[in-house]
Amino acid sequence: MLDLHDDFKAILQKLRNATGDVDPIVICPELVRETWGVYSFNAFTQDYCDRLLKLERHTLICPAFGLKPVIDQLSPSIQVLADAFFQYEARLVHHHAFTVRSSDNCPGPQTDDADIIFNVRLAGDYDNSTLIFCGDIGEPDHRLLSHVTTHHPGQAIVHLGMRRQGAPATSVDQQSFTNLVMWSKAAPRYTRTLYKKELRPPDLACVSATHDRDYFALTGTSPTGALSKAWCPPAHAQYANFYARLPS
């Protein structure tokens, strides 16, 4: 059974009762607009976070136990948030939840293969829990830093999957966290991202070890096997004097 924080319950009630084109920030004082297209609020109680951590340990032993009950109960609320935050007209019909730990070899900021991302911290340090946001995939500022925030236990951060975001690769080793991430997608439809030319070299905080062809040239480090799969930016979208030096 979901054990939602009172703030989350209040937000859902106000958004469901809202009529017309209303800014969710205006009617929901419990809600924080971190930056454009990114919202945060207290979502789960501490007790529920602890129960989900225990569920995760059972899932590792028996995958069939899974997070499906959580997904089934949470998905209608995700639709409410998507409609209010992003005026999302499509119905979200595919949902997938998983946990992410600081020990999972996080590659740094990246975009996600989903339309809506619901990311809740279940456990972690209050004083050292950085989460960064860059630009939207395909935009000139795709790899430029736009916002830095903290992520505390029980807090949800909701954004679109096209937004590059994550824990900075340079600080993952200094953080300790476990997050529950839920990906929600509408019915499959053909979309093609048109990449615009990048404005300038990326901010180092936004560089991805698995995505970016210039990762080694910019950082001087090369995660094992990562650069062979790098694709960003496409050749036509490279910033001036782009250099993708590979390790010798």
pLDDT at 76 over 90: yes
The pLDDT of residue 225 is 53
b/e code 33-61 from CB counts within 10 Å (16+ = b): ebeebbbbbbbbbeebbeebeebbeebee
Residue 160: its H or E element: strand 155-160
Place of tokens 């009529």: 19
pLDDT at 116: 96
Helix (H, G, I), strand (E, B) or coil at 139: coil
Q: What average pLDDT does the chain have?
A: 86
Assess contact for 120 and 2: CB atoms under 8 A: no
Domains of the chain: residue spans and CATH:
6-186 (2.60.120.620), 204-237 (no CATH)
Q: Does residue 110 surpass a pLDDT of 60?
A: yes
Higher pLDDT, 1 or 216: 216
The whole-number pLDDT of residue 168 equals 72
- In the structure, what pLDDT confidence band is assigned to residue 185 with cuts at 50, 70 and 90? very high
Instruction: Give the pLDDT mean for 24-36.
Output: 96
- Distances 215 to 66, 186, 221 between C-alpha atoms, Å: 35, 32, 8
Is residue 20 over pLDDT 60?
Answer: yes
User: 145 with 203: CB under 8 angstroms?
Assistant: yes
Interval 121-131: pLDDT, tens: 998 766 567 88
Higher pLDDT, residue 15 or 177 = 15
Q: How confident is the model at residue 62 (pLDDT cuts 50, 70, 90)?
A: very low
- Residue 100: predicted pLDDT: 84
H/E stretch holding 87 reads: none
- Percent of the chain past pLDDT 90, that is, above it, reads 56
At residue 171, the pLDDT reads: 53
Mean pLDDT along residues 31-54: 94
Give me the residue label for tokens 């180092």: 204
Tokens 């990562």 — which residue?
226
pLDDT in tens, 156-175: 999 999 999 998 765 545 56
Instruction: Check residue 44 and report its DSSP letter.
Output: B
Evaluate if pTM is beyond 0.75. yes
Q: Which two tokens stand for residue 97?
A: 């939840």
Instruction: Name the band, by pLDDT with cuts 50, 70 and 90, for residue 63.
Output: very low
Taking phi first (over 0 means left), then psi (-120 to 50 degrees means alpha), and beta for anything else, what does residue 59 get?
A: alpha
3-state class (DSSP) for residue 64: coil
Q: Using 50, 70 and 90 to split pLDDT, how confident is the model at 108?
A: confident
Query: What is the distance between the alpha carbons of residues 163 and 144, in angstroms, rounded to a whole number?
Result: 11
pLDDT at 65 over 60: no
Q: Which two tokens stand for residue 239?
A: 């910033």
Phi, then psi, of 178 in degrees rounded to 5: -135, 125
Tens-place pLDDT, residues 188-231: 765 667 899 999 999 999 998 888 999 888 988 776 555 567 88
